[in-house]
Amino acid sequence: MRLLRQGLDLDGFFERLRDAPARALVLDYDGTLAPFRERRESALPYPGVREMLHAIQAAGETLLVLVSGRPAESLEGLIGLSRAPEVWGSHGRERSRDGRRETGGELPEADRRALSVLAGWIAGEAGESALERKPFGVAVHWRDRAPLDAARLRQRAIERFRSATAGTDLEVLEFEGGVEVRPRGDHKGAVIERLLEEFPRGAAVAYLGDDQTDEDAFAALAGKGLSVLVRKALRPTAADLWLKPPEELLEFLRRWLEASSLSSSGRGKG
Ligand SMILES: [Mg+2]
C-alpha cells in the first residue's frame, strides 16, 4: 500500500468510515477484483474477494456498487454474491439494482451502423476471439498477442475506429490491452457524479479501479472520497492510494469490514 496524495490520512479515513451515516464501496471489476483472463467470461474474482465482499454486505450499511465497461448482466454472474450488488455496466449506460434495470436509451441509427461496421472489421482483421460486442459499443483485445503484433493491431484499430466514428456520437477509447468505441459521455466519472448526488450527506465513499477508464472516476471523486489504484505496477494516476492485488486489496477490504463491523449502525448485524 502506498499513499499517493500528500497529507492523506488512511487511518483517519477508516475512522470516519466507522462513524459515517452511510458507506459506499464502488468497484471496477476486471483487473481490480478479478485477474485478466484470455476468456473474458471466465474472469472470476481473486480467491477471498467474494467472501470479503459478502461479509461487508452482511455487516450492513455499505452500499456495494460495481462499475464496468462490461454489460451489467455479465457482471452479476461473475461476481457471484448471494445479494446482488448495484451494477453500472457499459461505462454507466446501464444501471441494475434491486432487480430493476435502467438504460440510457438506444443509440442513434448512425452509431449502431458504425458499431456494426467496426465489429465486422475487427473479426476480419484480428479474428472473432479478439472481438467483444457490447450492447452499446465494440472492443478489440490484444492482451494475448506478442508485443509487435499488438502494436500493429493497435495502430490499425485506432485509425479505423477514428474514421468510422467521425460525425457520430461515439468516441474511441484506449484501455490496457485494447481499444474500444463507446457513446460519448458514458464514462465512470459520470457514474461517480450521479452516485455522489444520491448519497446522504457525509457518506464515506471509496472507488477502486485499475485502468485508464477509472481515471475519470478518480477525478470525479477528488476531494469527496478515497480513490484507489489497484494494480501490480504503479503508473501515473490521479488516485490517492495504490494497492497491489490481491494481498493489499484483501487487506483494504478487511479494514473496510472491520470499520463497518465496529460502527454503531452495523454492530450486531450479520
Ligand atoms: Mg478494470
Does domain 109-183 sit in CATH 1.10.260? Answer: no
Q: Ligand 1: distance of its center to the CA of 265 in Å?
A: 32
Residue 211 has pLDDT above 60, yes or no: yes
Q: Residue 119 in contact with residue 161, Cβ under 8 Å?
A: no
Displacement of CA 220 from its chain's centroid (Å):
14
Q: Ligand 1: distance of its center to the CA of 49 in Å?
A: 15
What pLDDT, on a 0 to 100 scale, did the predictor assign at position 265?
57
Q: Ligand 1: distance of its center to the CA of 96 in Å?
A: 19
- Quote the cell numbers at residue 229: 489504484
Which of 234 and 264 is assigned the larger pLDDT? 234
Q: Ligand 1: distance of its center to the CA of 148 in Å?
A: 23
Q: Ligand 1: distance of its center to the CA of 264 in Å?
A: 33
Answer CATH for 2-93+186-269 from 3.30.70.3290, 3.40.50.1000, 3.40.50.150, 3.40.50.11610: 3.40.50.1000
Q: Ligand 1: distance of its center to the CA of 132 in Å?
A: 15
Q: What is the pLDDT of residues 56-105, one digit of tens each?
A: 999 988 999 999 999 998 898 899 999 999 999 999 999 999 989 999 88
Instruction: Look at residue 116 and give its three-state secondary structure.
Output: helix
Instruction: Give the separation between CA 66 and CA 77, rounded to whole angstroms.
Output: 12
User: Mean pLDDT over residues 227-237, rounded?
Assistant: 97
Q: Ligand 1: distance of its center to the CA of 43 in Å?
A: 11
What pLDDT, on a 0 to 100 scale, did the predictor assign at position 42?
87
By mean pLDDT, which of 25-29, 111-115, 198-202, 203-207 is the weakest? 198-202
Instruction: Give the separation between CA 147 and CA 127, rounded to whole angstroms.
Output: 17
Instruction: Give the separation between CA 172 and CA 178, rounded to whole angstroms.
Output: 11
User: Mean pLDDT over residues 219-228, rounded?
Assistant: 97
Domain spans of the chain, in order of start: 2-93+186-269, 109-183
Q: What is the pLDDT of residues 105-135, one digit of tens each?
A: 899 999 999 999 999 999 999 999 999 999 9
Q: Ligand 1: distance of its center to the CA of 262 in Å?
A: 30
Q: Which residues of 31-54 are buried (b: 16+ CB within 10 A; e: fewer)?
A: bbbbeeeeebeebbbbeebbebbb
Q: Ligand 1: distance of its center to the CA of 130 in Å?
A: 17
Residue 270 has pLDDT above 60, yes or no: no
What pLDDT, on a 0 to 100 scale, did the predictor assign at position 201?
86
Residue 269 has pLDDT above 70, yes or no: no
What pLDDT, on a 0 to 100 scale, did the predictor assign at position 264?
66
- Return the closest-CA partner of residue 261 out of 30, 57, 72: 57
Q: Ligand 1: distance of its center to the CA of 212 in Å?
A: 8
Q: Ligand 1: distance of its center to the CA of 35 in Å?
A: 9
- Quote the cell numbers at residue 236: 501515473
Q: Ligand 1: distance of its center to the CA of 183 in Å?
A: 18
Mean pLDDT taken over the chain: 93
Q: Ligand 1: distance of its center to the CA of 34 in Å?
A: 9
Residue 155 has pLDDT above 80, yes or no: yes
Residue 172 has pLDDT above 80, yes or no: yes
Q: Ligand 1: distance of its center to the CA of 95 in Å?
A: 18
User: Mean pLDDT over residues 242-264, rounded?
Assistant: 94
